[in-house]
Amino acid sequence: MHPLAKRLINGDERALARAISLIENDDKDKLTILKDIHQHTGKAYYLGLTGSPGAGKSSLVNRLISHLRALNLTVGIVAVDPTSPFSGGALLGDRVRMAEHFTDRGVFIRSMGTRGSLGGLARTTKETVRLMDAYGFDVILIETVGVGQSELDIMKIADTTAVVLNPGSGDIVQIFKAGIMEIADLYCINKADLPGVPKLLGQLESLLEIINHDSDWKTPVVQTISTENKNIDGLWNAAKEHQRYLLESGEGEKRRKQHLQTEVYEVVHAELMKDLLIHEKEHEETWIHELTNGEVDPYSVAEAIMAKWLNQGKSDSNE
């Protein structure tokens, strides 16, 4: 077993932080660490929170951490922030709102930049969640960057996905068009003290009748005011109710199987692309000149690269 993986499994917080950094930087030991910790995962409850910018997700997560700690549950948090397309850096501002938990040994907060990854999640978010799971946290909260339609990746990792709205979100039909509403296992109307809540509730309930028509799970709507710490217990109870549904209906096992299957394909894709890019750059991408001069099209180049790699794979297997 990798020394870092062994320390992480034994509850070494510094080892967890170091392992996440290695994962983010695509270190040569990345896959070894992930393989070693895999059998120790699957015990934590993954709760994802997503929604449009300004919905109050970070403040809600902060209150939720306090509530979970009061229940004597340990909490890991992955807060994903947008990355600058120019500098490549991220503000990582979510940590500012969670400062009161920095000294709590039962809480671990990791902010991550998207680094150009679509889907509202950083490319390495799944691996980070797995590391936190192996470390032994009871609950892992995943807060995604508020970017609308591209946040749908959260459904590929979370057991329960909460979509956070507020009365200032605009026309609910427009939010549905973004696709974000369809991934919800529960809805949270935050900032419920603002005007417009009855209208938002009415629109939401009308559209939920369409979504829930043939579903065994009837998506609940919870109202919260995170700034006043109101009904955070209601949000957690709704999440726990969904967790029970997943367990009793078998849907949870089905979801985890789908998540693992997707993860395998993503790892294969990432590793193949990494090797392919290194190989092509080492050979100076000889096709680029023909492509820019219009002598060949991108599709023919792609086919040629694929054929070369497939033939190479067959040659390697025959040796």
| Residue range 178-197, pLDDT digits in tens | 566 678 899 999 988 888 88
Report the percentage of the chain scoring pLDDT > 70.
81
| Cβ burial, residue 207 (10 Å; 0-12/13-18/19+) | middle
Examine the domain organization and report whether 182 and 287 are in the same domain: no
Examine the domain organization and report whether 85 and 17 are in the same domain: no
What residues make up the domain containing 300? 261-318
Can you give the pLDDT at residue 107?
93
Can you give the pLDDT at residue 316?
59
Examine the domain organization and report whether 67 and 178 are in the same domain: yes
Examine the domain organization and report whether 125 and 207 are in the same domain: yes
Can you give the pLDDT at residue 92?
56
Confidence of residue 118 (pLDDT cuts 50, 70, 90): very low
Is 221 among the domain residues?
Answer: yes
Are the beta carbons of 142 and 125 closer than 8 angstroms? Answer: yes
> Which range is least confidently modeled, 85-89, 192-196, 266-270?
85-89
Examine the domain organization and report whether 1 and 68 are in the same domain: no
Examine the domain organization and report whether 5 and 90 are in the same domain: no
Examine the domain organization and report whether 63 and 29 are in the same domain: no
| 107-113 and 75-81 strand pairing | parallel
Into how many domains does the chain fold? 3
Can you give the pLDDT at residue 32?
93
DSSP structure class, residue 193? T
| Residue range 153-186, pLDDT digits in tens | 777 889 999 988 888 766 566 566 556 667 889 9
Examine the domain organization and report whether 36 and 139 are in the same domain: no
Q: Measured in Å, how far apart are the chain's first and last C-alpha atoms?
A: 30
Examine the domain organization and report whether 278 and 223 are in the same domain: no
Stated pTM of the model? 0.85
Helix (H, G, I), strand (E, B) or coil at 235: helix
